[in-house]
Amino acid sequence: MLIFRLKSILSKTVFLAVLLFNSCAQPPRANVQVNEEIPSSWQIPLPSQSDLTGEWWEVFSDTLFSQHLNTFQSNSPDLLSIVTRLEIAEQTAKINGAGVFPSINIGNSGSVRKQNLSAFGFSSNMLGFGSNDSTNEGSNSSVISFDSQNYGLNVNMQWELDIWGKLINQRRAAFKDYEASKNDLAYLQFSLSAQFTTVYYNAVESKIQYKLALETSRAIEDVRKIVKDRYANGLASSLELRLAESSLAVNRIQLENLKSQSKRSIRALELLMGKYPSGTLGVSSKFSHDLPSVPDGIQSEILERRPDVQAAINNVEASTYRLIQSKRNRLPSFALTASGGTSTSDLKKLLNGDFSVWNLGANVTAPIFQGGRLKANVALSESQLTLAEQNAVKIILTAFSEVEQSLADDLGIQKQYEAVRVAEEQTEAAYQLAVDRYENGVTDLITVLNSQQQWFNTRSTEVSIEKQRIINRINLLLALGGDFSVNAQ
């Protein structure tokens, strides 16, 4: 019966507390528009990149690259650590936002105690027991003692009623902190994927440069053969033969350097993918030449999808909630406490309702003097909000700057690419003409070797510019927060 009364009182108290909470705990609207809905749980997995950035990797039309990028996103130690850090951020948000809920604990206790009357200042002689003979002073029979046992089972509840909305704003701030962490980590994921793309196409460039060096070596050997034939027929001097041999030897040095550089770039790529750095990973043999042009109708609002911009906005919202909380910490706090259970000297009767005990209380605490702590906390929260707003402005301006610079670089690289294509065509024709004229004895070997070197230098420059086109496109995608679609979210 007593337990039933306790349940009834607790039910009514909780019902009244919920009414007070719903009617008084709603905070005023902050200057920054925030989401009023507080989800009960969060999903651990990092959002798919395509949800935030679109499938930006498809602009390169490189199937092998897409396969390696997928492996990187699945196995990269750096990306796997992001998931762990996101789990930490989620648990931190739950801990910091748990104050809005009641705290309920269950406990079980048991004790056995032996006590003698001498501990209370009594002796057996005072009570008329025992003997006054000094020989019995040390005898245990002259000491009267008693045993006691106590067992308890109890449930304790403590709940601070959020009359002024202090705790709900603390929870909202914690949730916004989690959102900021999630967006920061999502942008880090995008950045790491962009870095992987850069390393990948560096490896592609090294492979193409090495193949170009092999072609150069074969071309120099062809020239040397022509010189040797002319020398055997008395049409070329020993100086020309030595120049041809020297040119071939220098090319072999460059060939070995490029081979080593290609292996080094492949191993760097394998490390990023979480693979053993054997230097055997296959990469594309050429660059994509059909990169889509940047559409003219891209709106500046597309930058709002950048995760780092969203994180900056989340930090402003979290700081706003903390400012509201700091101001309301100066108001009185209301708390309910309740406990119920059983207490008995017989362990068998621990679950017997006849031995039930309960307690119900309410506390009101109002801050009177805190040494300026609460006032300073408000000032601190205001400064943190100002700092968060300034940081958000800085991040947004930086995003605009990165887009503007990438667009300008894209135009400049495109002009360089068009010019180097013309230069490559002209230097190749000049080399072929020089070889023909040398075979006919019209020009000297120096002209042939110079035109040959100029042709292959131009081809090497063309490869570097092609790689730079892709790298700048990666930078533009990173600056825009994903592909060129304004609908990518």
Using the predicted structure, report yes or no on whether residue 416 has a pLDDT greater than 50. Answer: yes
Q: Please name the amino acid found at residue 244.
A: A
Using the predicted structure, report yes or no on whether residue 227 has a pLDDT greater than 50. Answer: yes
Mean pLDDT (the chain, rounded)? 80
What percent of the chain has pLDDT above 70? 81
Cα(45)–Cα(73) distance, rounded to whole angstroms? 13
Cα(468)–Cα(409) distance, rounded to whole angstroms? 10
Res. 129 pLDDT band, cuts 50 70 90: low
Which stretch of 71-75, 172-176, 240-244 has the lowest confidence by average pLDDT?
71-75
**Which pLDDT does position 73 carry in this prediction?**
81
**What are φ and ψ of residue 341, in 5° steps?**
170, -155
**Which pLDDT does position 430 carry in this prediction?**
94
In this structure, how many other beta carbons lie within 10 angstroms of the beta carbon of residue 489?
12
**Which pLDDT does position 287 carry in this prediction?**
87
Using the predicted structure, report yes or no on whether residue 482 has a pLDDT greater than 90. Answer: no
**Which pLDDT does position 118 carry in this prediction?**
62
Using the predicted structure, report yes or no on whether residue 40 has a pLDDT greater than 50. Answer: no
Chain length of the chain = 489
Query: Which candidate, 161, 212, 277, 269, places its Cα nearest to that of 458?
Result: 212
Q: What is the mean pLDDT of residues 332-347?
A: 83
Q: What dihedral do alpha carbons 409, 415, 418, 419 form, nearest 10°?
A: -120
**Which pLDDT does position 51 carry in this prediction?**
57
Provide the 8-state DSSP code for 59.
G
Entry pTM: 0.70
Res. 2 pLDDT band, cuts 50 70 90: very low
The distance from CA 350 to its chain's CA centroid, rounded to whole angstroms, is: 52
Cα(418)–Cα(407) distance, rounded to whole angstroms? 17
Cα(43)–Cα(11) distance, rounded to whole angstroms? 33
pLDDT tens digits, 379-415 = 999 999 999 999 999 999 998 888 888 888 988 998 9
pLDDT tens digits, 306-330 = 889 999 999 999 999 999 989 988 8
The alpha-helical segments, DSSP class H, found in 134-237 are 166-232
Cα(391)–Cα(198) distance, rounded to whole angstroms? 28
Q: Which of the listed ranges 8-17, 36-45, 105-114, 126-135 does the model predict with the highest average pLDDT? A: 105-114
With beta carbons less than 8 A apart as the criterion, state whether 57 and 65 touch.
yes
pLDDT tens digits, 144-157 = 777 778 888 888 88
